[in-house]
Amino acid sequence: MLKGVTGGLRSLHLLDKVIADGHPPVYTPLHLVAESLERTPSNSTITSLTGAICFVGPEAPPASGLECLECLEAVWGTTRFADASQVKALHKFRSAWLAKGAKELYHAGQTDNGDVRLVRRATRECPAPFDIHLPLIGKAEELAGIRSTLQFFVSSATLVNLHPYLLDQHATGARELYGLSFKNADKLHVWIPEGMTDFHVRQPLPIWITESAQFGAVKTLYLDHRRGPEGVSLYGGGVDKVMGRLPKLAKVGFMRRPITSTNGPPAVVPLMWAGLKHCAVEGGPLDVLVEVNLCARPAQSGFVVPIFHWQTVEEESDELDAVLKARCDGEECEWE
Within a 13 Å sphere around the CA of 152, how many CA atoms are in the beta-carbon half?
Answer: 18
Separation of alpha carbons 286 and 295, rounded Å: 29
Reported as a single tens digit per residue, the pLDDT across 271-311 is 889 999 999 999 999 999 999 888 877 777 777 888 888 88
CA dihedral in degrees (288, 205, 248, 106; nearest 10)? -110
Q: How far is CA 226 from the centre of its chain?
A: 19
Cis peptide before 135 (omega within 30 of 0): yes
Residues 28 and 14: beta-carbon distance below 8 Å: yes
Whole-angstrom CA distances from 330 to 210, 279, 314, 325 are 31, 18, 22, 9
pLDDT of residue 1: 46
Q: Where are the domains of the chain?
A: 1-129
CA dihedral in degrees (251, 256, 262, 266; nearest 10)? -70
Reported as a single tens digit per residue, the pLDDT across 112-151 is 877 888 889 999 888 989 999 999 999 888 988 999 999 9
